[in-house]
A and B are shown apart, each in its own frame.
Chain A
Amino acid sequence: MATLPAAERPRARAAGPRRHDSAGPLAYALLAAVVLASVFPLYWTFVVASHSDNSVLGGSTPSLVPGGHLLENIGRVFDTVDFWKALGNSFTVAGTTAVSNVLLSSLAGYAFAKLRFPGRNALLVVVITTVMVPTQLGIIPLYLLVTDLGLYGKLSALIVPSLVSAIGVFWMRQAMEENVPDELIEAARMDGAGQLRTFWYVAWPGVRSVAAVLGMFTFMFAWNDYFWPLIALPPENGTVQIALNQLAAGYYTDYTLMLAGVVVSVVPVLVLFAVLARRIVSGVMAGAVKG
C-alpha cells in the first residue's frame, strides 16, 4: 500500500477521461439525481430557517418555498449563543491541529523514511500498530488527565492531545519514501546541509501536496469532532458543534432557530469551499491511495 498524489503522476494525467467515454444523457440524469439528493437537505434547511417558528409547526405539507424570516432567525441565533466565539474556537482548534499535524508528522515521517538510527524499525512498528488505536476510547482517563493538567474548558484540551497522530506519521513516511529520492538527501548532506535544512529544502517540496491533504483531513476531523468537545469544554466556550447543539437544547425546541444555526454553520464553510472548489476536489483526489 502506498500513498501518492494522483494528480501529480504523469501517468495519471495521461489516463484522464477516455475519449470514447463521453457521458450520455442517462449518465447526466443519474448524476443530477445524486446531486439533488446531496443538495436537497440543505435547501430544505434553508427553507425552514427562513420561516417564522410558529408557521412551520404542524403544517401538513412541508413547505418548499423560502419565507422572509431568515435574517431575523439568524439574528436570534447570535442572540442565543455566541456563535462568533464558537466559529473562532473551531477555526483555532482545527487550524492549529492541522498545522501541527502536518509539521510534526512530516518531521517524523522524514526521520522514519530517510534517516538511519538504532531502533527505527521497532519504533515504526509501534507507529503502525497505533494507527488502529482509536484514542477516543481512553476518553475517561483522558478527561481525568486533562482535568489534572488544568486544561478543562480550554481550547488546549482539544489541541494538545491531537497535535500529531499515528496515521499522519505513517502517511508522511509513505510520502517521503515514494517522493523523495535517497540520492537527493545524500547530496544535500554532502553539501553540508543540516538535518533541518535538508528536510525543509529537499524533502518537504516533494511531499507538499500530500501534506496539504493531510492538513485538510485533520482540519475536517477536528472541525467535526463532537464527542470530546462535549466533554472537555463548557458550553459557553464551545466549538461550532457544541453551539449548534445548544440551539437544539431547552425545554422548548425552536426548530427554525436550530436550522438557522445550521445555515450559519454551513455557509462559511460552503463559501470557502466554493472559492477553493477546484483545489479541494483535486486535493481529495490526491489523497487516494494506490497500490
Chain B
Amino acid sequence: MAVHTAGAQRTLESEAPPGRRARRRPTRQSRVTPYTFIAPFFVVFGLFGLYPLLYTLWVSLHRWDRLTGDGGFTGLANFRDLFADPDFYNATYNTFSIYLLSTVPQLLLALAVAWLLDRRLRARTTWRALVLVPQYVSVVAVALVFSQLFGRDFGVVNWVLEQLGLISAPVDWTADTWSSHLAISFMVMWRWTGYNALIYLAAMQAVPRDLYESAMVDGAGRLLTFRRITLPAIRPTLLFTVVISTIGGLQLFAEPLLFDSQANAEGGTEHQFQTLTLMLYKYGFINNDAGYASAVSWVLFLVIAAVAALNFYLTRRLGGSDR
C-alpha cells in the first residue's frame, strides 16, 4: 500500500498543472461528473441486460415464432408446458450434475496443485506457465479435441482404458448419462484446473509466513499445517472461485453441444447431456419457438439467482469470522 501512496504522491507533485491552484468551488459540472462516470454502465446494462431480461418475460407469455414474430398472448401456457415437460427436469438434473462433477473435483485438484506449487521449485515460472496452458485453448477447441479423445471406436481414452485392462469393450461415452457427464466435466476440469490452482497459489503465498513458522515450531506436519493454517487463510479466495465456477458451470453450452457429433442441441439420444442452456438454444434457435425458449431462460435465471444467493449467504457466513 505504501508503494502506491508514494507513487501517487509523486505523480501528483510532478504532474499537477501549475497556475490552477485556486480552491475550486463545486460547480455544476462537478455535480454532474459522477453520474457521467457511472452512466455508461447503466446505459449498457439497462439496454442490453435489464431490458432483454424483462422482454424475455414478455416473450415467454406469448406464442412467438422467431421467423414470423408475435403470435398472440398465451398467458402462462409456456410455463405450464415447461413444468409438465420431463425433459425440463432432466435438463435441470443434467445441468447440476455436470456442474458438480466438474466443479468439485476441479477445485480440489486445483488446491492440490497449488499446494504442490507453493514450495521452492526449480524453474518456478515454467511450472506455473505449463499448468496454465489449457486455459489458452478455446472452449470450442477443447470440445472438439476431447470429443475425439472420448470417441467410441478409436478414441484415445478408450484405448488407454483397454490397455490397462479396465474395460473389455469400448465405452460409448455419449450414450449414457454417467459417461457423458463424466466426459463433459473432464473438458471443463482440464481447462480450468490450472487457472484456479494459480489463483489459490497467489492466495497461499500471501499467508503470513510467521503463522507457518510457529506451526513448524509446534511440530505440525505439512498436511496438518495445510488444513489448520492455509485453508482457513485462503477461504475468501476459495469462495470467489466457487462463485465464478458456478456462474460458468450452470451455463455450459459449447462443451455439451459439440460433444454430440450432430451438434443439434438434443444432448444425446435421450437428452442425457442436454443442459438448460442447450434446451434454450434448441427451442429458441432450432425450433424457433422464442416463447418457450424464453420460459426456459427465465427458469434458468431463477435457478442461477437462487444458487448465487446461496453462495452469497455462504460467503457471508463462512467469511464472517474474518471481520
Contact = CB atoms under 8 A, between A and B. Distances in A.
Q: Do A and B share a direct contact in the complex (Cβ within 8 angstroms)? A: yes
A18 B118 CA distance: 8
Interface stretch (B76-84, B93-101, B171-179, B300-308): B300-308
Interface size of A as a range: 35 or more
A245 B201 CA distance: 35
A120 B118 CA distance: 41
B152 interface: no
B154 interface: yes
A161 B125 CA distance: 36
A160 B48 CA distance: 9
Nearest to A114: B34
Contacts of B59: 140-141, 144
A23 B116 contact: yes
B16 A289 contact: no
A132 interface: yes
A138 B154 contact: no
Interface in B125-155: 125-141, 144-146, 148-149, 153-154
B208 A15 contact: yes
Contacts, number: 371
Contacts of A126: 42
Contacts of A266: 136-138, 141
B2 A10 contact: yes
Contacts of B7: 205-206
Interface in A177-206: 178-181, 184, 187-193, 195-197, 199, 201-202, 205-206
B44 interface: yes
Contact of A42 (B133, B239, B240): B133
A180 B4 contact: yes
Contacts of A220: 135
Query: Chain B at the A interface: mostly helix, strand, loop or mixed?
Result: helix
B85 interface: no
A142 interface: yes
Interface string B264-295: 00000000000001001100110000100110
A19 B203 CA distance: 18
Contact of B285 (A28, A35, A231, A258): A231
A11 B208 contact: yes
B52 A22 contact: no
A17 B205 contact: yes
Contacts of A105: 41
A125 interface: no
A286 B129 contact: no
B144 A137 contact: no
B38 A41 contact: no
A65 interface: no
Nearest 4 Cβ contacts at the A-B interface: A138-B52, A285-B202, A141-B55, A161-B48
Given A39-B133, A201-B11, A273-B136, 8 more contacts: A23-B120, A140-B293, A141-B56, A141-B58, A161-B48, A166-B49, A193-B16, A259-B148
10 contacts: A42-B133, A111-B35, A138-B51, A142-B48, A161-B48, A180-B4, A195-B34, A240-B140, A269-B137, A291-B236
Interface of A: 1, 6-12, 14-23, 27-28, 30-31, 34-35, 37-39, 41-42, 44-45, 48, 58-62, 104-105, 107-108, 110-112, 115-117, 120, 123, 126-127, 130, 132-142, 144-145, 160-164, 166, 169, 178-181, 184, 187-193, 195-197, 199, 201-202, 205-206, 220, 223-224, 226-227, 231, 240-241, 244-245, 248-249, 253, 255, 258-259, 262, 265-266, 269-270, 273-274, 277-278, 280-281, 284-291
